[in-house]
A and B are shown apart, each in its own frame.
Chain A
Amino acid sequence: MAKTYVVTSGKGGVGKTTISATLGAALAAKGDKVCLIDADIGLKNLDLTLGLENRVVHTILDVVNGKVTALEALVRHKQMKNLFLLAASQIATKEMLSPDDMRRIVAELYPKFDFIIVDSPAGIERGFRNAVAAADRALVITTPELPAITDADRVIGLLENAGMAEDDIRLIINRFKPNMVKRGDMLTKDDIQENLAIELVGIIPDSEDVIVATNTGNPITLNGNQEHMIAHVFSNIALRLKGEMISIDKDLIYGGSRGFREFFKRIFGRN
């Protein structure tokens, strides 16, 4: 029976889709059967992030319209055979799907997977309500900036209002810059956690390689670069979601200054 997470934030551009794809890949790499659902109808991107845009035949709208079942509409990932995507439609609008439709879709997929991750659109309107409807847990994504944190706070309130227990709402801080924190120019993880008052399950340091991974359609955990610092962080988050106790400080080990060794490696290791 699957654990169903909605990845949400309120504010757009904080990394929901990238985190959904990369975390899904990290969980699949640990042997779990994972289904990603793109609930961002009309502005779908999850297929692009996973490099599956050319393989999508049926979308979530085809499932809603009864053309195919949810299982028939799934696209299997090229490299990870236990990672699946239910793509959103580009031409449809969020109003064409209802919270009940989403509940029906997830209910069909629920027995077949270990994890179902629903990528929510930005905002708190219909698209958000659709994405949240079938989830029993939430991952709230924020960056260490005021607008993102205050939107995350609002979303946490809405999730609680929708009946989700506080323990089931967990926080991921994205694009964290430890060097700025050291200089006193960025909010610390404790500042953010104190204000949002939910459990922190991951701190993802800012990295240009994430953009490269999105450009190539290969989540960083699948890039043939499992030793990459970001891959380690996602691996930690995946283990925490599976119930393992791993210190959050372990995520920060990978986000500090690169040091001399890394500096020389970058200069002399260029292609």
Chain B
Amino acid sequence: MADQGVSESSSNVSLDATKGVTMMFFGLFRRKKKAQSRKEAKDRLDSIVTGRRRSVPVQEVIPAELLKSSETDVVTQIKGYVAQRFKVKEENVKVQFEEHNGYVVIITNVVFH
């Protein structure tokens, strides 16, 4: 009985060893799934670069006359917002109005230095 127990346990050990060797053998040929650096680069790039151009949804359309009459007020508000947002002086913010295909485009330039 005791002999049988020993031979059983030794056969279990050899079975485990065989299994281990087999796993190692196949492990050599298994293709490692490499992390793709493009995705990380894209996420980082998106977070860095989007500062220059940001899409803002149109929430309200106002008549051209109203815009014209409140032009100074709009410029002052944009200058204030941009100066606060980018931590620059208000005189470093230049605001221009241009008409393109019937739309009024507000161009804001910021001089950082």
The answer to whether B109 touches A146, judged by C-beta atoms less than 8 angstroms apart, is no
Inter-chain CA distance A161–B107, complex, in Å, is 11
Contact partners of A191 in chain B: CB under 8 A:
38, 41-42, 45
A145, A150, A188 — which one has the most chain B CB atoms within 10 A of its CB? Answer: A150
Is the pair A149, B39 in contact by a Cβ cutoff of 8 Å? no
Number of A-B residue pairs with CB-CB distance less than 8 Å in the complex they form = 45
Partner of B38, one of A150, A153, A157, A186: A186
Interchain CA distance A153-B48 in the complex, whole Å: 10
Chain A residue contacts of B53, Cβ below 8 A: 197
* Residues A185 and B42 in contact in the complex (CB < 8 Å), given A149-B49, A153-B49, A156-B52: no
Bound form: Cα–Cα A146–B49 in Å:
10
Contact with A along B45-59 (1 / 0, CB 8 A): 110111011000000
Inter-subunit contact A196/B49 (CB<8 Å): yes
B22 contacts partner chain A, Cβ-Cβ < 8 Å: no
Judge whether B38 and A184 touch: CB under 8 Å.
yes
Q: Which residue of A lies closest to B38 (CB)?
A: A184
B92, chain A: closest CB distance, angstroms: 11
Given the complex, which residues of B lie within 8 Å of A43, measured CB to CB? none
Chain A residues with Cβ below 8 Å from B45 are 146, 149-150, 187, 191, 195
Residues of chain A with a CB closer than 8 A to B32's CB:
none
Do A185 and B48 touch across chains, with their CB atoms under 8 A apart?
no
Name the residue of chain A whose CB is nearest to the CB of B36: A184
Q: Kindly state the separation between the CA atoms of A23 and B48 in the bound complex, as whole angstroms.
A: 31
Proximity string of chain A (152-167) to chain B, C-beta cutoff 8 Å, 1 when within and 0 when not = 0100110011000000
Task: Indicate if the CB atoms of A195 and B111 lie closer than 8 Å.
Answer: no
Q: Which A66-80 residues have C-beta < 8 A from chain B?
A: none
Main secondary structure, interface of A, reads helix
Q: B17-48 interface mask toward A, CB cutoff 8 Å, 1 = contact, 0 = none?
A: 00000000000000000001111011011101
Smallest CB–CB gap between B13 and chain A, Å? 42
Task: Give the docked Cα–Cα distance between A26 and B53 (Å).
Answer: 34
Q: Which of A160, A185, A197 lies in contact with B36, CB distance below 8 A?
A: A185
Contacts of B109 in A (CB 8 A): 160-161
Q: Which of A183-224 contact B (CB under 8 A)?
A: 183-188, 191, 195-197
Knowing A153-B52, A195-B49, A197-B53, the reply to whether A146 touches B38 (Cβ < 8 A) is no
Within the complex, what minimum Cβ distance (angstroms) separates B82 from chain A?
Answer: 14
Q: Does A92 contact B (CB under 8 A)?
A: no
Is A253 part of the binding interface, using a Cβ–Cβ cutoff of 8 Å? no
Known: A183-B36, A185-B37. A150 touches B42 (CB 8 A): no
In this assembly, does A107 line the interface, its C-beta being within 8 Å of a C-beta of chain B?
no
7 A–B contacts from the bound complex (CB under 8 Å): A146-B44, A160-B109, A184-B38, A185-B36, A185-B37, A185-B38, A191-B45
List 14 additional contacts besides A186-B38, A187-B42; criterion CB under 8 Å.
A145-B41, A146-B41, A153-B49, A153-B52, A156-B52, A160-B109, A161-B109, A184-B39, A185-B36, A185-B37, A186-B37, A191-B38, A195-B49, A196-B49
